[in-house]
Amino acid sequence: MNQFDVIIRGGIVVTATDTFRADVGIRHGKIMTVANILTDGTKIIDASGLLVMPGGIDSHVHLAQPSFDGPAMADGFESGTRSAVAGGNTTVLPFALQPRGASLRSSVVNYHKEADGQSYCDYGFHLIVTDPTPSVLSQELPALVEDGYTSFKVFMTYDDLVLNDRQLLEVFSSARDCKALVMVHCEGYDAIRFMTERLEAVGKTAPYYHAVSRPESVEREATHRAISHAELTDVPIMIVHVSGREPMEQIRWAQNRGMKIYGETCPQYIALTSEDLKGLNMDETGGKYVCSPPPREKESWEAVWSGIKTGVFQTFSSDHCPFFYEGVGGKLNDKARTSFRWVPNGIPGVETRLPILYSRGVAEGRITVNEFVALTSTNHAKIYGLYPEKGSIAPGFDADIVLWDPNRKETISQRLMHHGADYTPYEGQQVTGWPVMTLLRGKIVAEEGKIVGSKSDGRFLKRRLSPYAMPGSNR
Ligand code: URP
Ligand code: ZN
Ligand code: ZN
Ligand code: ZN
């Protein structure tokens, strides 16, 4: 019998800290040895000329999420995780959403029915808390955290999801008690409603006005408010999908005061602009780019880069939240034509996250390849309780690996995508750097744009408590 099931030979291994030439020996789904030269493998994969990096962990994706009065999402677990592995990812963390009035536990049970047996990559769940009743806070949350759902998201906007300040404080305080990490969607609900009604009253209903209705000041205010609540309750929080300079500076300010406030940003904030929402001459094609927070002006890209380069942001996630553009229920539906208010919020991006960050970041010289690995994999594993099984290449880690061609030039196109949506908002963007093979626990699941794994490959990940959620430094 051979010593290794698989040997990845001759590549350049990249971790969050090191870059070196080595072979990787895999046995029973785990990395067993990382060494100069390995022989004695049942299968040898030639990685010469390629980078050997930890598989992407996308800690912010939406799959099969129920919508209330809007169209259904374009991806369930099957197509969403197919897209994920094609894009070099091996783990996704989507959200089990609690509809108001429902128990959290039943929401989790229902979400497992969507996911189990339907996933090409490994997955864990965050929770979305929309109805923080006393029993949810004191009984359900602690029990679910115990069961490995160790992070949850709360919203400061959206009719069906928004929590008021009192509720946010209650959730933060419960998170502190059960040592869970809270992710916060920071945009001010009342300000957005005020702006939306004002714009609609003067006929400004095109998709572009989505961006006008929720400018950076609205995000900045909510970010500051969330940070203040985190101070009051002395609990670490993660501010998700940060779009530009103003909210980024709030996080930097809190971090400079020694607070445990973490930040996440996304491809849309370095590769799309609010001009994209104008479509062709303010027509509905701008609806393809409607997401929240919206992409900002092009100048804001450099501010986001400054946050990436100086460590304000620990994670770079996709916020993959796909809807169809054409067709029944799509972004271009009849109701959405009447106002931006009804255009479903969210864009696809799980498959293009790594190429966009690699290309604009590493290939263009803004970040190192080690920072790339930290931002796309290692930090997600550490922050969300998946370390040390996931997120690096060293003995004992799961053999979740992407083989990456750093020189390959591609033009992003819907033709290349594996998601359920009928468009990519990055159509036509040129990138340097592309995944050529994805291995999940030692098994090849995607190769040269072809899916070779199966939807029963992915496993549910019961997550540990996040070491980043330990309270005690925010007050
Ligand atoms: O527009 C977006 N990002 N939709 C997804 C939901 C969210 O707030 O993350
Ligand atoms: Zn074996
Ligand atoms: Zn959000
Ligand atoms: Zn999201």
ipTM of the complex: 0.94
pTM of this structure: 0.98
Choose the CATH number for 56-363 among 3.30.1280.10, 3.40.30.10, 3.20.20.140, 3.30.160.20. Answer: 3.20.20.140
Q: What is the pLDDT of residue 213?
A: 98
Around ion ligand 3, which residues have CB less than 5 A away?
A: 185
What was the pLDDT predicted at 375? Answer: 99
- Which residue has a Cα nearest atom 7 of ligand 1? 292
Q: Which ligand is nearest to the CA of 27?
A: 2
Report domain extents, the chain: 56-363
* Mutation probe of ligand 1 site: the residue of 93, 265, 321 with most atoms within 8 A of C-beta: 321
Q: What is the pLDDT of residue 215?
A: 98
- For residue 60, report the distance from its CA to the centre of ligand 4, in Å: 6
**C-alpha of residue 131 to centroid of ligand 3, in Å:** 16
Instruction: Check if 65 has its Cβ closer than 6 Å to any atom of ligand 1.
Output: no
Tens digit of each residue's pLDDT, the chain (475 residues)? 899 999 999 999 999 999 999 999 999 999 999 999 999 999 999 999 999 999 999 999 999 998 877 889 999 999 999 999 999 999 999 999 999 999 999 999 999 999 999 999 999 999 999 999 999 999 999 999 999 999 999 999 999 999 999 999 999 999 999 999 999 999 999 999 999 999 999 999 999 999 999 999 999 999 999 999 999 999 999 999 999 999 999 999 999 999 999 999 999 999 999 999 999 989 999 999 999 999 999 999 999 999 999 999 999 999 999 999 997 789 999 999 999 999 999 999 999 999 999 999 999 999 999 999 999 999 999 999 999 999 999 999 999 999 999 999 999 999 999 999 999 999 999 999 999 999 999 999 999 999 999 999 999 999 999 999 998 889 8
Residue 240 Cα to ligand 4 midpoint, Å, equals: 8
Q: Which ligand is nearest to the CA of 26?
A: 2
Q: Which pLDDT belongs to residue 167? A: 98
So what's the pLDDT on residue 451?
Answer: 98
Q: What pLDDT shows up at residue 67?
A: 81
Per the document, the length of the chain is 475
In angstroms and rounded to an integer, the radius of gyration of the C-alpha atoms of the chain is 21
Q: Give the pLDDT score at 436.
A: 98
